[in-house]
Structure 1
Amino acid sequence: MRTSVLAAGGVALALALTACGGDDSSGGDALTGGNGNGGAFSDLSSLVASAQEETAKSSSSKFTMEMSMGGQTITAEGEGRYSGDETAMSMTMDMAGQSMDMLFVDNVMYMKMPEGMNPDPSKPWIKMTAEDAAAQGQDFSQMSQQSDPTKTLEQLQQAGGEIKNTQETEVNGEQATQYTIELDLSKADGMLGGDEQATASIPEGTMIPVELYLNGDNLPLRVEMNMDAVAEAVGAPTGGKMVMNYTDWGTPVDIQAPPADQVGEMPSF
């Protein structure tokens, strides 16, 4: 059980610290954002460049996540700071009735395990370094990049993502442009935490839809990913979905590592 919680935590971090040319069929009024000419982006490179610029200006946000797959639901909420080497994330995740706190700061991930699952209760936090992640089959550098939502956008581009449709809508009362993007999951190892084995098991040409919502300043508001193709590829029940919501862009966040005397080493399983 401990192993499954740790694995789920890594995947949740990879997805959460979680996003294209084709037809542009925008509807409704144009936003102040978009491509600068009163319309939506039609290619991913321009979209990514703008989103990166605006994210660098705002540098922080709050977020929520809900992911369902294989009959299991994972929810999370937290906040992140997106600033190169100073990137940090704080998140509380709930899975199967168990709650786990996660911190990513100073290129180290800390996990506060559910009650009864920590081998040393006097040290409620467990530390995961790059070496620990490698032992769990995860690429730590790619996992850590997921705390910046613009990295997700870059990975969509690397996976051959294409914009299939755009339309004007609202997200939590805020006007937004919705981009429907299709990508090849077999090329999206970065979005799976660098898990090459998991990616290799997915047939080439396994296309999945991603819905990306940007506000008028070209900042991400929501990312929705249909997980059915992932489930089918690994033989799990379909009906899965992942939704990330970003709010409070530009609000300062204070994320600190736990006190050293409360941190234990990653256990061996």
Structure 2
Amino acid sequence: MTVAAAALLLTACDPAPAPPPAPPALAPPATDVAGLVGTARTGIGHAPSAAFTTTAVFGPATQKYTGSLRFDGGETSLSMVFDSGETRVIGKRTFTRTPQEAIPGKPWIGTDAGSADPVAQALGAGVPLAVKLPDLGRALAEIERTGRLVSAGQTKLGDVPVNHYRLELDPAKAPELFPEFGPQPGAAKVPAQLWLDAAARPVRYAVDFSAGPAAAKGTTDYRDWGKPVDIQAPPADQVVDEVELLKKLGR
């Protein structure tokens, strides 16, 4: 074996680089929304993947589901399993698998908010709230554009020292980010909380949409930052486009 071939083999076997270790102590919490969002994005950028568990309350019902997410530059990929189904979000594309196939042999329904078709855009923009709750990319965008920092302090989640931020989101400042409130959200405010560890990685995010028509709230716990996750689009021959499906159903 040549030296070059040996070097190539060793490189191929090398594991993915580990995220940098967390600082030994918490930095002081950010004092404004811009600082908070910038700090969180930097922390996520050093270890851009994680697993999560979300506990969601929809009216009288409580659901718990698990999943993983990955950050690719400015886009989020997310996979989650709940109610015997699965949803994957890859950039602007959403794929949903349900136990009952809409078309035999095609267990997945796909939508694309980036499509030129206005119907597809509308369908893609209507991401179910259950999928929205754990999406940190969306959460940070909402905080950045509509958030007000109510308080910031230091505490612990279990044994983990964290900076704890209490926030208030105003859907009226960016209605397109809050489709569950309708085109004119009015005066409804959305309480939210974010906990960051010493490496500025989110440990927990909680948001309360009870003031809106959805009457929902959710708490998501994040773990295993930096551990690789595999989130891929389903095989194309197993996906039916939602726009085409609606046409077949005469809607």
Class of the TM-score when normalised by the shorter of the 2 chains: 0.7 to 0.9
Q: Does 1:247 align with 2:232?
A: no
Q: Does 1:119 align with 2:102?
A: yes
Query: 1:136–1:72: structure 2 CA closer, same or farther, 3 Å change rule?
Result: farther
For the pair 1:198 / 2:158, whether they are aligned, the reply is no
5 Å-filtered alignment, 1:26-175, equals 32-34=25-27, 39-84=28-73, 87-94=76-83, 99-105=84-90, 107-113=92-98, 115-116=99-100, 118-130=101-113, 131=115, 133-136=120-123, 138=125, 149-159=136-146, 161-175=147-161
TM-aligned CA deviation for residue 247 of structure 1: 0.9
The match for 2:10 is none
Shift of 1:190: 4.8
Q: Supply the distance in 2 between the matched residues of 1:136 and 1:256 (Cα, whole angstroms).
A: 21
- Structure 2: state its 5+ residue gaps: 1-23
**Structure 2 residue aligned with 1:226, among 205, 208, 211?**
208
Change (3 A) 1:65 1:191: farther
Separation (CA, whole Å) in 2 of partners of 1:173 and 1:41: 21
- Give distance in 2, aligned partners of 1:139 and 1:256: 21
How far the C-alpha of 1:199 sits from its partner, in A, is 4.2
2:87 alignment partner AA: M
Cα distance, 1:175–1:208 mapped onto 2, change above 3 Å = same
Structure 1: tracts of 5 or more residues without a match: 1-30
Q: Relative to 1, partners in 2 of residues 1:256 and 1:153: Cα closer, same or farther, differing over 3 Å?
A: closer
TM-score (norm 2): 0.73
The CA distance in 1 between the partners of 2:232 and 2:74, in whole Å, is 14
CA deviation after TM superposition for structure 1 residue 180, in Å: 0.9
Question: Among the aligned pairs, what percent are the same residue?
Answer: 29
Q: Confirm whether residue 211 of structure 1 aligns to residue 200 of structure 2.
A: no
Conserved 8 A contact 1:65-1:242: yes
Larger Rg: 2
Residue 185 of structure 1: aligned partner: 171
Q: Which amino acid aligns with 2:51?
A: K
Corresponding residue pairs, total = 215
CA pair 221-256 structure 1, distance change in 2 beyond 3 A: same
Partner SS, residue 94 of structure 2: strand
Deviation of the 1:53 alpha carbon? 1.4
